[in-house]
């Protein structure tokens, strides 16, 4: 199954490369990436694997690990957390939600303080609540990143204050962002809240797109003197007759708050205006039924283990034509979900996307007589 998923990923990379028939916009950032989270395709990017300092974008992984603890019932939103002096004293010049060692605070308030107010004190308090101490929590952050496939990321703390061992990339951050939305949609809603009041102090969400674009519902900003201004933004807009589609932009290392907002909006608008996401096939849908030799069944249905959605330049979807390439002859036994061919979507005679096709059912070997008969038939062909 892992090999099959890798093949699917490779096919989407091929689709991403083909999508570049639409010129990418110029973005005033050190690196950037635009992901269609609906199809899983990278639409466009510049230096997406360049190592950067993630600053407060780190807090998205802190939230992810905390959400996992809530899912696993190791905490609840109502759990009251005693504030340590370490959390209270975190860099006084940095962003804080102003928790107090004398006043326990709920996990729910800490998550709001983390994602809306970008509180570094909230990050430390959550780390201690989930894992007992920061070091153990950071181990959990790195473990989750590795599981999600974030190959060029390392976390050194839960808040993103400068540390040489705290780094990531635009590509990895897009994986992290899409994972939060996919795995914890009920908690992701916090990111869309425009302001939060704690300890009689009201602070606004630093994601200015929440005021400028009603389709934007998250996710996080970051800034340090050394990293510049960065933002992960996500938006949902109608996708014709196919419901909605979601895009995630990652813009890193801009010169100001206004520039990161402007460039993130530019990327999102460009992606929605120039591309469509279309559903080609449903999970388990048979795209073809083909002969099987020496099997308990004479035919097998071919299809996919998941819904197949692809992102293509506008106007291309209607031109795609499927061409199935099989590994003939198909000889039993065949395992269910084993790859038996490739479906290529052609446009003007050129392959746009190549997708691995699998056997939708298991086919066991036929009896000795059936195998002998098919062996003779194959020999005569």
Active site residues: 56, 59, 118
Residue 291: CB atoms within 10 Å: 14
3-state secondary structure the chain: CHHHHHHHHHHHHHHHHHHHHCCCCCCCCCEEEEEECCCCEEEEEECCCCCECCHHHHHHHHHHHHHHHHHCCCCCCCCEECCCHHHHCCCCCCCCCCCECCECEEHHHHHHHHHCCCCHHHHHHHHHHHHCCHHHHHHHHHHHHHHHCCCCCECCCCCCCCCCCCEECHHHHHHHHHHHHHHCHHHHHHHHCCEEEECCEEEECCCCHHHHCCCEEEEEEEEECCCEEEEEEEEEEECCCCCEEEEEEEEEEECCHHHHHHHHHHHHHHHHHHEEEEEEECCCCCCEEEECECECCCEEEEECCCCEEEEEECCCHHHCEEEEEECCCCECCECCCCEEEEEEEEECCEEEEEEEEEECCCECECCHHHHHHHHHHHHHC
Contact 285, 307 (CB under 8 A): no
Cα 307 → chain centroid = 16
β-strand partners of 342: 325, 356
**Omega cis (within 30) before 57:** no
Contact 305, 282 (CB under 8 A): no
Among 280, 330, 285, 320, CA closest to 303: 285
For residue 319, CA distances in Å to 8, 15, 161, 199, 315 come to 22, 15, 49, 58, 8
């Amino acid at each position: 199954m892992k090999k099959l998923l890798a093949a699917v990923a490779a096919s989407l990379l091929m689709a991403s490369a083909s999508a570049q028939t639409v010129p990418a916009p110029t973005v005033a950032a050190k690196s950037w990436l635009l992901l269609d989270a609906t199809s899983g395709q990278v639409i466009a990017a510049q230096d997406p694997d360049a190592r950067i300092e993630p600053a407060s974008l780190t807090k998205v992984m802190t939230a992810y690990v905390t959400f996992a603890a809530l899912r696993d019932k190791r905490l609840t939103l109502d759990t009251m957390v005693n504030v340590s002096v370490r959390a209270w004293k975190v860099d006084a010049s940095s962003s804080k939600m102003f928790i107090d060692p004398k006043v326990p605070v709920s996990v729910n308030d800490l998550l709001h303080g983390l994602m809306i107010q970008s509180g570094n004190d909230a990050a430390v308090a959550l780390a201690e609540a989930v894992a007992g101490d920061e070091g153990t929590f950071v181990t959990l952050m790195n473990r989750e990143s590795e599981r999600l496939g974030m190959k060029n990321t390392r976390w050194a703390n839960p808040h993103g204050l400068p540390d040489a061992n705290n780094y990531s990339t635009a590509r990895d951050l897009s994986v992290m962002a899409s994972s939060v939305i996919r795995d914890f949609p009920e908690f992701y809603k916090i990111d869309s809240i425009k302001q939060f009041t704690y300890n009689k102090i009201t602070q606004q969400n630093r994601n200015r797109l929440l005021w400028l674009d009603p389709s934007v519902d998250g996710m996080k900003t970051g800034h340090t003197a050394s990293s510049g201004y960065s933002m992960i933004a996500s938006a949902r807009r109608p996708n014709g007759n196919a419901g909605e589609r979601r895009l995630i932009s990652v813009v890193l290392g801009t010169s100001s708050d206004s520039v990161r907002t402007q460039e993130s909006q530019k990327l999102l608008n460009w992606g929605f205006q120039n591309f469509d996401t279309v559903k080609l096939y449903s999970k388990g849908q048979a795209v073809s039924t083909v002969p099987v030799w020496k099997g308990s069944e004479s035919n097998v249905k071919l299809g996919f283990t998941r819904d197949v959605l692809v992102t293509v330049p506008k106007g291309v979807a209607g031109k795609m034509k499927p061409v199935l390439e099989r590994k003939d002859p198909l000889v039993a036994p065949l395992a269910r979900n084993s790859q038996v061919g490739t479906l290529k979507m052609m446009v003007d005679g050129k392959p746009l996307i190549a997708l691995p096709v699998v056997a939708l059912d298991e086919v066991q070997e036929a009896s000795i007589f059936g195998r002998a008969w098919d062996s003779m038939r194959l020999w005569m062909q």
